[in-house]
Amino acid sequence: MFKKLFRKLGKKSEEKKDEGQEEIVDSGVEETPREEAAKVDISEMPDGSEAEVQKESEQEAKQEIEQKEYAAEIPKEHEAIEEIQPEEENVQVEEEQEEAEEPVEEVQEEEEEKPSKFNLFARLKEGLSKTKKGITERIDTVLKSYGKVDEELFEELEEVLITSDMGFETTMKIIESLKDRVKRNKVTEASDVRDELKEVLVEMLSADEDKKLIEGTPAIILVIGVNGVGKTTTIGKMANRFKGEGKKVLIAAGDTFRAAAIDQLEVWAERAGVDIVSHSEGADPGAVIFDAVQAAKSRKADVLICDTAGRLHNKKNLMNELGKIFKIVDREYPDAHREVLLVVDATTGQNAVQQAKVFNEVADITGIVLTKLDGTAKGGVIFAVKSEIEVPVKLIGVGEKVDDLQDFDARSFVDALFE
């Protein structure tokens, strides 16, 4: 645009030179002082000043054009600014709305998390569904078939309990206690016997109940039980639980006899994000526990969880192995709070009772872990194990998920069976 203007001004100046400096015709428009100064006769100027005048006139024209263009662009810029401002306001409004909505989303997420943390009873009911069909539904069928309480009713209930893997001796204890409560509370209707039976079962499971898994830190947990009952899985879930509570956890792979036991524990340790002490397969279990205790002390671990071998084919060897481990713990870690947890498989029924008896003879068991309750109708074995060895049940497994290893509560367990 400027180049074209310069060309026109150049052509005009050349024409003025050829025509002998013609006079500028007055157009009748009022001229500014600047325009009047530009009309000074070129012929009256000294030599060399003509080019300077031309240059000055070109510069002035250029400045005027720039001023006009700048004045024309200002409204456009204002319009653009006005167009941008609403967008910026919209963005700010959207950001404020998002900020206002974020707390709502967080609350919703917390509400979604609550079932996984606080709806343990629902999971327990789901996990005990097969046991409920094997025990409670059969009990309800018997009670509905009787109107009044009599000896025959108790015999029917006795049969149901024995065939639900509660065992003969345990069933006799339950029936005797039930008769005493029915007589004491003057119960005459068969339908009311159900509530009395619930209380008897709660009392049996609540005896010597100790809900604390560990009393304090540092703590060492020795996990015992036969192969295949779920020791490795139980250790992994406990490690994950303690780690979630902010404790520093160490695992000892003391079962060096079972193939793949060490590899499985290493997988669980990695999943839980905890350290593990292990030797090669076939190594001395006592040496593994010794090294693990030293590592726990040097690393200031809060909880040391030790796996042990579970061979029952030779009771003497089992006693020797566990006895050696206990001596090492007594000598090397005397200040640690000790737990000896026996893991039994609910699906094995009365075999779980026999296993509990054998291990109770060779170890000072402080708690029972009953696994695989979700996969069996033989959940009544928990009453038999508790009654036979008189050791509190501390943990139960009602599913495959990490948080399906729950603290045992007698009242919640019985309520889940009867609801």
Q: Is 217 annotated in some ligand binding site?
A: no
Q: Is 165 annotated in some ligand binding site?
A: no
Q: Is 232 annotated in some ligand binding site?
A: yes
Q: Is 340 annotated in some ligand binding site?
A: no
Q: Is 371 annotated in some ligand binding site?
A: yes
Q: Is 150 annotated in some ligand binding site?
A: no
Q: Is 310 annotated in some ligand binding site?
A: yes
Q: Is 179 annotated in some ligand binding site?
A: no
Q: SS in 3 state form for the chain? A: CHHHHHHHHHHHHHHHHHCCCCCCCCCCCCCCHHHHHHCCCHHHCCCCHHHHHHHHHHHHHHHHHHHHHHHHHHHHHHHHHHHHHHHHHHHHHHHHHHHHHHHHHHHHHHHHHHHHHHCHHHHHHHHCHHHHHHCHHHHHHHHHCCCECCHHHHHHHHHHHHHHHHCHHHHHHHHHHHHHHHHHCCCCEHHHHHHHHHHHHHHHHHCCCCCCCCCCCCEEEEEECCCCCCHHHHHHHHHHHHHHCCCCEEEECCCCCCCCHHHHHHHHHHHHCCEEECCCCCCCHHHHHHHHHHHHHHHCCCEEEEECCCCCCCHHHHHHHHHHHHHHHHHHCCCCEEEEEEEEEHHHCHHHHHHHHHHHHHCCCCEEEEECHHHCCCCCHHHHHHHHHCCCEEEEECCCCHHHEEECCHHHHHHHHHC
Q: Is 226 annotated in some ligand binding site?
A: yes
Provide CB contacts within 8 A for 345, sequence distance 6+. 228, 229, 230, 352, 371, 372
Q: Is 207 annotated in some ligand binding site?
A: no
Q: Is 403 annotated in some ligand binding site?
A: no
Q: Is 167 annotated in some ligand binding site?
A: no
The token pair that represents 366 in the structure block: 């402080």
Q: Is 222 annotated in some ligand binding site?
A: no
Q: Is 225 annotated in some ligand binding site?
A: yes
Q: Is 231 annotated in some ligand binding site?
A: yes
Q: Is 210 annotated in some ligand binding site?
A: no
Q: Is 193 annotated in some ligand binding site?
A: no
Q: Which residues are annotated as a binding site?
A: 225-232, 307-311, 371-374
Q: Which residues are annotated as a binding site for GTP?
A: 225-232, 307-311, 371-374
